[in-house]
């Protein structure tokens, strides 16, 4: 994997620190130092403005715009939605002695920027050398509250070293932000504004989708305050005099309140925003920050992961966990996870199959309520999925490849109309969630309805072959996006088979245990008497391609006969291949972009023998080009299981530091949300050896050569399990809740607070 780290940040177990400013990595830092709380997020751009390369990105989950894609054939999406840049609520400008503070032009020293993962506080400070007037220390602090989702805080502190003179500051709200992917257009109209010496407020509306966003702030601090309104901006200007040793601090407490429904009343939005501003912004920065910190204290005290002997991976892993909780923690069942979270506009804020296939594993064992809400998001948008299936001449529900509001937002037919495995990821998530949580209420009410509609879709989309007489999916693209319009993708056929079988088993269970719920389901979905038998018949007839002698699954029909390309023969300068190879050239070889067969070997790990897993890994790993952040983790997990410890470690480090070290040279576009979850999976499923697809949780840990020890915790129903591994032994116990039965190296054990100790097998030591 020809990827090279670009490491410029200090290594610390709890902090992300930039010592000295790196202007060539300006946008990379903006993404890395992002702040979010699921509802809103801001990139780590400079509050005070910057004339160098930057992107002022401020986003609210669910605030989006729409565009027409143009004329097309039936079944191809003609419109698309995309997350739109919102209000710059951190807008600050500072001038002193006639000089405007701009780190692209101003002279400064002692620059330091940090993100404290224990608290979610982003801090930045430096000494500004004001031309001919002396020096002052300037400090900025910010956070977005994990307790009050619509609240953000900013503090600006000026402290004179030997500066003497007047200082002018501007604190504002600015809707004049642009969306880079739309030719730097602005999509906001300001409907109402208000400003006074103590703060300001604006009400903005998107021009096409009519989303309303109220933004207001309260300002405290010294000096002479004066309100102003201009264009799409409103705020307070402050004039003061600073003498050597003098210090002034300003606190700006901000509320952003969105109304998502079309035609939402402006007066109601303004009234609700004003009410929230009055209640939430009344307390100061420190008090709000203290309440915000309780969230992180509780989280880290309960579900931290530790690594001793590898500070880089320790920092990377905690950063991934931190960003996952910032990105989503289940506050709103109508929200989901964009591919870049709330850290950038690349991928347009769309939700993909990554949520169910990768991210949900993390939330399932850290925040199961959030995992459930991710599934409720799909259930909420089931009507759009049913309509989408009709558009492409099928029955049931076809979940969109890329979406914000349940509609298909991808206008590329060769992706949107062939990558129909999103519903299979939804099936896997339903199966996995109900298996781990035992949430029968969800299964019988929302889960079963989703399963019925998914089975209907794949039963209508699949077909029988003329010669083979076998059932399967034709003209599809699987997880590997280097194979277009193939037949019988193995991953898709196998998960389709399991979808049919699980749906039938769920209906049988409901007939025994919840007949009233089954009758309600039948009425709601129009379930026909013969449908279950049809699905089971097609499950029996589904073609799963596998070489009988070697046990290697064929990724799709004809894959074994494709021309071979030695990956080592591709020059490093050609990566990423999307930028240097013609698009059709990508499809001509047996190399693949990301795991496909290996992915279902992970999902249903206990269904396959160790020999089959090894043979498939040995065949497919050398053919994977890893042009997706989804890729390294699955390879690391399976390599660890097989005993390829050095290979597993290299893949794991890549995943945990993908963004911090800018391995793909695209962190500037936003964080790789899926890779964040994959890093956690590397530790827990990979080195930690946990498997969650069997009758009970099972554990077969190993330890990398470099590590002295490591530990992780997982939440399983009412219990928190802790696993600690060193070079000699494995310790497992419950640190919270009732005892739990698990398998450890194939032997059943009952874990309680006292726990159990097991010698680490020699084969599991790197």
pLDDT digits (tens, 9 = 90+) for 12-33: 999 999 999 999 999 999 999 9
pLDDT digits (tens, 9 = 90+) for 422-474: 999 999 999 999 999 999 999 999 999 999 999 999 999 999 999 999 999 99
Cβ contact 128:92 at 8 Å: no
Mean pLDDT of 710-721: 97
3-state secondary structure of 597: helix
Distance CA 233, CA 90 (A): 12
Give the up-direction half-sphere exposure of residue 169: CA atoms within 13 A in the CB hemisphere: 28
Q: Which pTM value belongs to this model?
A: 0.96
Mean pLDDT of 229-246: 96
Higher pLDDT, 653 or 610: 610
Distance CA 465, CA 557 (A): 12
Instruction: Provide the pLDDT confidence category of residue 38 given band limits of 50, 70 and 90.
Output: very high
Instruction: State residue 78's pLDDT score.
Output: 86
Number of Cβ within a 10 Å radius of residue 741: 11
pLDDT at residue 72 tops 90: no
Instruction: Provide the pLDDT confidence category of residue 305 given band limits of 50, 70 and 90.
Output: very high
pLDDT at residue 1 tops 70: no
Distance CA 50, CA 93 (A): 10
**Quick one: what percent of the chain has pLDDT higher than 90?**
91
Tell me which H or E stretch contains 750: strand 747-751
DSSP 75: T
Q: Could you tell me which of 314, 325, 312 has the C-alpha nearest to residue 9?
A: 312
Specify the residue for token string 């989703």.
450
Distance CA 233, CA 231 (A): 5
Q: Which residues make beta-bridge pairs with 157?
A: 139, 249
3-state secondary structure of 18: strand
Q: At residue 466, what are phi and psi to the nearest 5 degrees?
A: -65, -45
Question: Degrees (nearest 5) of the Cα angle 676, 689, 634?
Answer: 45
Instruction: Provide the pLDDT confidence category of residue 260 given band limits of 50, 70 and 90.
Output: confident
Mean pLDDT score of the chain, rounded to an integer?
Answer: 95
Distance CA 397, CA 430 (A): 15
Q: Which residues make beta-bridge pairs with 741?
A: 750
Distance CA 682, CA 640 (A): 9
Cβ contact 313:653 at 8 Å: yes
Specify the residue for token string 């409901």.
510
pLDDT at residue 544 tops 80: yes
Taking each helix axis from N to C terminus, what angle separates 382-391 and 368-380, rounded to the nearest 10 degrees? Answer: 50
Number of Cβ within a 10 Å radius of residue 22: 14
Instruction: State residue 253's pLDDT score.
Output: 98
Q: Which domains does the chain have, with CATH numbers?
A: 1-32+305-338+659-766 (2.60.420.10), 41-300 (2.70.98.40), 367-625 (1.50.10.10)
Distance CA 314, CA 712 (A): 12
pLDDT at residue 71 tops 70: no
Structure tokens at 92: 């600050």
Cβ contact 259:211 at 8 Å: yes
Distance CA 449, CA 527 (A): 10
pLDDT digits (tens, 9 = 90+) for 103-113: 999 999 999 99
Distance CA 204, CA 60 (A): 13
Structure tokens at 658: 């993908």
Radius of gyration of the chain (CA): 27
Structure tokens at 686: 């990979």
Tell me which H or E stretch contains 51: none
Residue 692, CA distances (Å) to 40, 369, 435, 437 in order: 33, 18, 9, 11
pLDDT at residue 168 tops 60: yes
Instruction: Provide the pLDDT confidence category of residue 510 given band limits of 50, 70 and 90.
Output: very high
pLDDT digits (tens, 9 = 90+) for 621-670: 999 999 888 899 999 999 999 999 999 999 998 889 999 999 888 999 99
């Amino acid at each position: 994997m020809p990827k090279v780290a670009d490491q410029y940040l200090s290594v610390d177990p709890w902090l992300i620190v930039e010592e000295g400013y790196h202007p060539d990595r300006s946008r990379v830092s903006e993404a890395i130092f992002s702040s979010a709380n699921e509802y809103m997020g801001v990139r780590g751009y400079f509050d005070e403005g910057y004339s160098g390369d930057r992107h002022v990105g401020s986003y609210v989950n669910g605030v989006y715009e729409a565009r027409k894609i143009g004329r097309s054939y039936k079944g191809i999406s003609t419109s698309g939605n995309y997350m739109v840049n919102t209000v710059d609520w951190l807008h600050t400008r500072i001038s002193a002695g006639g000089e405007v503070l701009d780190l692209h032009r101003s002279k400064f020293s002692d620059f330091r920027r940090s993100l404290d993962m224990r608290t979610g506080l982003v801090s930045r400070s430096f000494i500004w050398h004001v031309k001919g007037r002396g020096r002052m220390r300037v400090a900025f602090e910010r956070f977005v509250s994990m307790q009050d989702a619509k609240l953000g805080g900013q503090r600006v502190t000026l402290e004179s070293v030997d500066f003497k003179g007047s200082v002018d500051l501007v604190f504002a709200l600015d809707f004049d932000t642009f969306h880079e992917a739309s030719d730097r257009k602005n999509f906001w109209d300001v409907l109402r504004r208000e400003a006074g010496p103590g703060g300001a407020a604006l009400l903005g509306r998107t021009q096409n989708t009519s989303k309303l966003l109220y933004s207001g702030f309260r300002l405290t601090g010294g000096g002479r305050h004066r309100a102003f309104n201009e264009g799409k901006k409103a705020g307070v200007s402050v004039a003061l005099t600073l003498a050597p040793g003098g210090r002034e601090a300003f606190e700006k407490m901000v509320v952003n309140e969105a109304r998502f429904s079309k035609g939402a009343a402006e007066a109601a939005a303004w009234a609700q925003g004003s009410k929230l501003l009055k209640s939430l912004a009344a307390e100061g920065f420190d008090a709000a920050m203290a309440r915000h910190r309780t969230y992180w204290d509780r989280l880290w005290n309960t579900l931290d992961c530790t690594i001793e002997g590898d500070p880089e991976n320790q920092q990377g892993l905690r950063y991934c966990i931190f960003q996952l909780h910032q990105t989503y923690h289940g506050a709103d069942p109508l929200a989901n996870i964009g591919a870049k979270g709330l850290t950038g506009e690349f991928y347009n804020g769309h939700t993909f199959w990554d949520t169910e296939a990768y991210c949900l594993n993390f939330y399932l064992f850290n925040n199961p309520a959030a995992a459930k809400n991710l599934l409720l998001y799909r259930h909420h948008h089931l009507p759009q999925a049913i309509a989408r299936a009709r558009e492409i001449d099928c029955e049931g529900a076809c979940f969109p490849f890329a979406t914000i509001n349940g509609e298909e937002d991808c206008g590329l037919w060769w992706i949107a109309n062939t990558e129909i495995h999103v519903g299979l990821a939804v099936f896997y998530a339903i199966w996995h969630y109900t298996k781990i949580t035992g949430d029968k209420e969800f299964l019988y009410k929302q889960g079963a309805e989703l399963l019925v509609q998914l089975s209907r879709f794949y039963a209508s989309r699949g077909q029988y072959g003329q010669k083979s007489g076998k059932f399967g999916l034709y003209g599809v693209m699987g997880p590997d996006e280097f194979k277009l319009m193939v037949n019988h993708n193995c991953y898709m056929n196998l998960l389709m088979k399991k979808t049919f079988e699980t749906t039938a088993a769920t209906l049988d269970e409901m007939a025994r245990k919840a007949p009233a719920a089954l009758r309600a389901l039948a009425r709601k979905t129009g379930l026909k008497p013969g449908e279950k038998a049809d699905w089971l018949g097609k499950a029996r007839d589904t073609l799963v391609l596998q070489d009988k002698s070697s046990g290697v699954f064929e990724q799709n029909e004809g894959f074994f006969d494709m021309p071979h390309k030695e990956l080592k023969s591709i020059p490093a300068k050609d990566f990423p291949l999307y930028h240097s190879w013609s698009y059709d050239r990508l499809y001509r070889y047996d190399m693949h972009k990301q795991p496909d067969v290996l992915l279902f070997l992970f999902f249903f790990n206990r269904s396959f023998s160790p020999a089959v897993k090894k043979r498939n890994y040995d065949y497919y790993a050398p053919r994977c080009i890893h042009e997706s952040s989804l890729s390294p983790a699955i390879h690391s997990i399976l390599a660890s299981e097989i005993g390829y410890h050095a290979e597993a470690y290299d893949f794991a480090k890549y995943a945990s530091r993908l963004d911090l070290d800018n391995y793909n040279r695209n962190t500037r576009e936003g964080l790789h949300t899926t890779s964040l979850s994959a890093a956690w999976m590397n530790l827990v499923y990979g080195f930690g050896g946990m498997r969650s697809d069997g009758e009970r949780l099972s554990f077969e840990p190993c330890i990398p050569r470099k590590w002295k020890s490591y530990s992780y915790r997982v939440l399983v129903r009412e219990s928190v399990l802790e696993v600690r591994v060193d070079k000699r032994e494995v310790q497992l116990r419950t640190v919270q809740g009732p005892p739990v039965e698990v398998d450890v190296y194939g032997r059943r054990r009952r874990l309680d607070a006292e726990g159990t100790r097991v010698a680490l097998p020699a084969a599991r030591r790197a």
